[in-house]
Chain A
Amino acid sequence: MKIGNSIMALMVALPFVVSAPNVMAATAEGVVLDSVHIDSGDTPSLQRGAALFVNYCLSCHGAAYMRYERLAYDLDIPMETLAEDFMFTTDKPGDLMKTAMTEDDAKEWFGVAPPDLTLVSRVRNNEWLYTYLRAFYLDENSPNGWNNSLFENVAMPHVLYELQGAQTLVGHVETDEGAAVETSAHQNIVGDTIFEIQKVGKNSPEEFDMAMRDLVNFLSYLAEPAQLQRRSIGIWVLAWLAVLFVVSFLLKKEYWRDIH
């Protein structure tokens, strides 16, 4: 048994020892992302996120694996509201959330087709999305006037301009410890990038961050609608297994009483 334990300990410890230098290298060259606390149980947040998505994103990006109906069902959106505020007039509730833009048009306008966003939160991750959506800035050298500090030379314009306003790139936060950065009221830090606010939008910076949290919350839901049920079912399943464990354990003890 002792040998077993030491082998186990070795098994757990070693890969980290062997590979510690690699791990450090990986984070050193990695990009800095802002963390975001999303909550799939926060239905009002999901509703606001869904509204943002439909109003600002669906014109270019599809969510072509998702049905409108499911939104109404999962996010407590009444059917009339769904039809009025969320769907194109020609759509039926059972339809997939496809974009109106054809791929050929998109390619002509942007050079690349905007990717489908149904699963984007699972391909990237929520922190990436949260940082990306807040990192657009004015750039004269870009064909559409916008760039993004996380996704350089992105073909997507800053579609949330009216909400966030406009900002320009100042530089990067020193990542070395001790070099705390002074930020004025006119500055905004996203990831490790400092922006100068040029024009205030409809939202204050805090409001815009909250709105982006809602949008990311929605994108995360969109990527896996089942997460709404999966955790709550999971708790019951594990609780039931715990009971079963006690029963099976006692049964085994009873049978094995006379085996020595």
Chain B
Amino acid sequence: MSNFMEWVDRRFPATKVWNEHLAEYWTPKNFNFWYYFGSLAMLVLVIQIVTGIFLTMHYKPDASLAFASVEYIMRDVPWGWLMRYLHSTGASAFFVIVYLHMFRGLIYGSSREPRELVWLIGCVIFVTLMAEAFMGYLLPWGNMSYWGAQVIISLFDVIPYLGPILTEWIRGDFVVSDATLNRFFAFHVIALPLVLCALVFLHIVALHKVGSNNPDGIEIKDNKDENGKPLDGIAFHPYYTVKDLVGVVVFFMVYLGVVFFWPDGSGVLLEKDNFAPANSLQTPPDIVPLWYFTPFYSILRASTSDFLLILTVITGVAAVATFFIDTKRSNKISAFICYALLAVGLSIFDAKFWGVVMMGSAIVVLFLLPWLDKSPVKSIRYRSMPFKIAVGIFVIAFISLGYLGMHPVSELSTIQAQLCTILYFSFFALMPFYTAWGKTKPVPTRLT
């Protein structure tokens, strides 16, 4: 065996990579619940790829055959139903995991110096994952697949001048059609999974360069022994491999519990209207995306002309307020110009346009997190009260947006969504202020 490894190591850095990334990769010893989700996300990525390969063996990317081929998989392909449910439930599991994973980054300040790139690559992964899920959802060619794609693609129509050309280019047709199905298939089964795998690789490379953060938000590399090993670090393998194994088993209990006993999630995981084939003449009563898109969908729908009026007033007030903040004059002037332009824009373009802009911005702001957070400490354990309150409100707003987005709009729900939209953006816009405000607790020098 050792002879064999020597032979390999002279030609390929197998032992070196093993040690650097597993056996001698020093990891903080105090990882908690929130730290399971990175490895679980990798696991689900593998599950999606493997089950996806089996589905592709029987699926037909053709508008006249696609729907029937999925039912064929559900009925006539041995274990086809299992592959399909693993894949459809896996998509939802992926988003549950990624949302929890991102939330961890938020509460422990993991996005901050020196892990900005880990976070940024993560954000790109998130956007890619959304594209992957969106395109995958067209493939069963159910009526919700069809109308969901129709609605979301035509959002780009609001872009001045370029919109209609762009949407036609995306669809490959004037409406969602066979051409759209074929290109979405290409993206879903090969292009985006390749991109995702590459991004996950970069995510881990970036992480291992700087090392993991932890629930205390302090650097284990600041306290090393004479050999350069962090005192509070333990080897990833075997300690975290065995610990993550427990997490994997628990995850499988929940995930397979859903797969075997609740695969349609009562219409949340597999939507009812998607059991009817795509029909361009019959719009479903409520076009609702899957749950993981609904927070952003709610923000889109929150944009009404009344709401824009309120936003115009808010930006107007903010423009005036810039003169009372004490910074350099040049800063004040540029801030004023920005707000003033925004206020003008809000009154020129219509609600549909701003809905799309707001939905896009809701995702773009995530990228800015490392620079918006000005707290002197990283972990929520030692942060000031205002931050804790803000996080609480943000979580409530985000979940409420998700809930509201799953249901048809009413007058009341529109107002609720608008309120939550304001809370969502305020969380980021005001972050530089409230993170610097209030008394933080003293941070220990060693892990607790």
B360 contacts the other chain (Cβ, under 8 Å)? no
Cα distance, A245 to B248, chains bound together (Å)? 9
CA distance A3 to B392 in the complex (A): 9
| Complex contact B246–A11 (CB within 8 A) | no
A67 near B75 with CB under 8 A, answer yes
For the complex, is A231 an interface residue (Cβ under 8 Å from B)? Answer: yes
Question: What separation, in Å, do the CA atoms of A245 and B416 have in the docked complex?
Answer: 42
Asked whether, in the complex, the Cβ of A25 is within 8 Å of the Cβ of B75, the reply is no
Q: Is the CB of B260 within 8 A of A230?
A: yes
- A3-B388, A65-B75, A248-B245 known; A238 vs B253 contact (CB < 8 Å): yes
Which residue of chain B has its CB nearest to the CB of A4?
Answer: B33
Specify which chain B residues have a CB less than 8 angstroms from the CB of A245 in the assembled complex: 246, 249-250, 253
CA distance A248 to B249 in the complex (A): 8
Answer yes or no: A10 CB below 8 A from chain B CBs: yes
How many angstroms from the CA of A22 to the CA of B409 in the assembled complex? Answer: 9
Residue B21 interfacial (CB < 8 Å):
no
Q: At the interface, yes or no: A179 with Cβ under 8 Å from chain B?
A: no
Nearest-neighbour CB distance to chain A for B275, whole angstroms, equals 4
* A10 with B242, Cβ < 8 A, contacts A65-B72, A234-B261 known: no
Q: Once bound together, how far apart are the Cα atoms of A122 and B276, in whole Å?
A: 9
Cβ–Cβ < 8 Å partners of B29 in chain A: 259
Residue of B75, B250, B257, B259 near A70 (CB, 8 A) is B75
Interchain CB contact under 8 A, A25 and B403: no
A residues 1-52 in Cβ contact with B at 8 Å: 3-4, 6-7, 10-11, 14-15, 18-19, 21-22, 25-26
Indicate whether A159 reaches chain B with its CB closer than 8 angstroms. Answer: no
B400 contacts A by Cβ under 8 Å: yes
Chain B residue with the shortest CB-CB distance to A245: B249
Classify chain A: how many residues form its interface, as a range. 35 or more
The 0/1 profile, CB within 8 Å of B marked 1, for residues 208-237 of chain A is: 000000000000000111100011011101
- Whether B249 and A14, one on each chain, are in contact in the complex, defined by CB atoms closer than 8 angstroms, is no
CB of B391 closer than 8 Å to a CB of A: yes
Tell me the smallest distance from the CB of A250 to a CB of chain B, in Å: 10
Check if B403 sits within 8 Å of A21, measured CB to CB: no
The residues of A that contact B399 with a CB separation of less than 8 Å are: 11, 14-15
With beta carbons under 8 angstroms apart, the residue of A21, A66, A248 that contacts B246 is: A248
- Asked if B75 and A19 sit within 8 Å, CB to CB, the answer is no
B246 touches A252 (CB 8 A): yes
- Count residues of B near A (Cβ-Cβ below 8 Å): 53
Specify the chain A residue showing the minimal Cβ separation from B251. Answer: A241
Query: Is B402 located at the chain interface by the 8 A CB criterion?
Result: yes
Cβ B403 vs Cβ A18 within 8 A: yes
Residue B404 interfacial (CB < 8 Å): yes
Query: CA separation between A37 and B86, bound complex, in Å?
Result: 28
Instruction: Give the Cβ gap from B337 to chain A, nearest Cβ, in Å.
Output: 37
Q: Which of A21, A224, A244 contacts B412 (CB 8 A)?
A: A21
**With A and B bound together, what is the CA distance between A251 and B242 in angstroms?**
7
Instruction: Say yes or no: B245 contacts A252, CB within 8 Å.
Output: yes
Question: In the complex, which residue of chain B has the Cβ closest to the Cβ of A6?
Answer: B392
Structural contact, B76 and A67, CB atoms closer than 8 A? yes
Chain B residues with CB under 8 Å of A109's CB are none
**With A244-B249, A245-B246, A248-B245 in contact, is A259–B71 under 8 Å at CB?**
no
Given contacts A10-B392, A19-B404, A255-B238, contact A230 B263 (CB under 8 A): yes
B372 CB–A CB distance under 8 Å: no
User: Do the beta carbons of B75 and A238 come within 8 Å of each other?
Assistant: no
Q: Given the complex, which residues of B lie within 8 Å of A15, measured CB to CB?
A: 396, 399-400, 402-403
The yes or no answer to B234 lying at the interface (CB within 8 A) is yes
B116 at the interface (CB under 8 A from A): no
B420 neighbours in A (Cβ, 8 Å): 18
Closest residue of B by beta carbon distance from A260: B29
> Is B62 among interface residues, defined by CB-CB distance under 8 A?
no
With a cutoff of 8 Å between Cβ atoms, the chain A residues found around residue B75 in the complex are 65-67, 70, 225-226
Would you give the shortest CB distance from B401 to chain A, in whole angstroms? Answer: 9
Judged by a CB distance under 8 angstroms, whether B157 is at the interface is no
Tell me whether A22 and B407 are in contact (CB under 8 A): yes
Choose among B249, B380, B404 the residue that contacts A3 (Cβ–Cβ < 8 A): B380
Determine the distance from Cα of A164 to Cα of B263 in the docked complex, in whole angstroms. 35
**Which B residue's beta carbon lies closest to that of A234?**
B260
Partner of B239, one of A64, A118, A255: A255
Given the complex, which residues of B lie within 8 Å of A25, measured CB to CB? 410, 412
In the complex, whether B182 has a CB less than 8 A from a CB of chain A is: no
- Which residue in chain A gives the minimum CB-CB distance to B260? A234
**Complex Cα gap A244–B412 (Å):** 48
For A224, give its contact among B72, B74, B245 (CB under 8 Å): B74
B353 at the interface (CB under 8 A from A): no
Find A123's partner among B76, B263, B276 (CB 8 Å cutoff): B276
B243 touches A22 (CB 8 A): no
Instruction: Scan residues 273-303 of chain B and give those whose CB is less than 8 A from a CB of chain A.
Output: 273, 275-276
Contact in complex: B249, A22 (CB < 8 Å)? no
| Cα-based distance from A82 to B239 in the complex (angstroms) | 59
Supply 29 A–B pairs (Cβ within 8 Å), ascending by A: A11-B395, A14-B400, A18-B400, A18-B404, A19-B404, A22-B404, A65-B74, A115-B276, A118-B71, A119-B275, A119-B276, A122-B270, A122-B272, A123-B272, A123-B273, A226-B74, A226-B82, A231-B261, A234-B257, A235-B260, A238-B253, A238-B260, A241-B252, A241-B253, A252-B243, A255-B239, A256-B239, A256-B242, A259-B234
| Chain B contact residues, CB within 8 Å of chain A | 29, 33, 68, 71-72, 74-76, 81-82, 85, 234, 238-239, 242-243, 245-246, 248-250, 252-253, 256-257, 259-261, 263-264, 270, 272-273, 275-276, 380-381, 388, 391-392, 395-396, 399-400, 402-404, 407, 410, 412-413, 416, 420
- List chain A positions with a Cβ less than 8 A from chain B: 3-4, 6-7, 10-11, 14-15, 18-19, 21-22, 25-26, 64-67, 70, 115, 118-119, 122-125, 223-226, 230-231, 233-235, 237-238, 241-242, 244-245, 248-249, 251-252, 255-256, 259
- Beyond A19-B403, A26-B407, list 10 extra A-B contacts (CB 8 Å): A11-B395, A15-B402, A22-B412, A115-B276, A122-B270, A123-B272, A123-B276, A238-B253, A242-B253, A252-B243
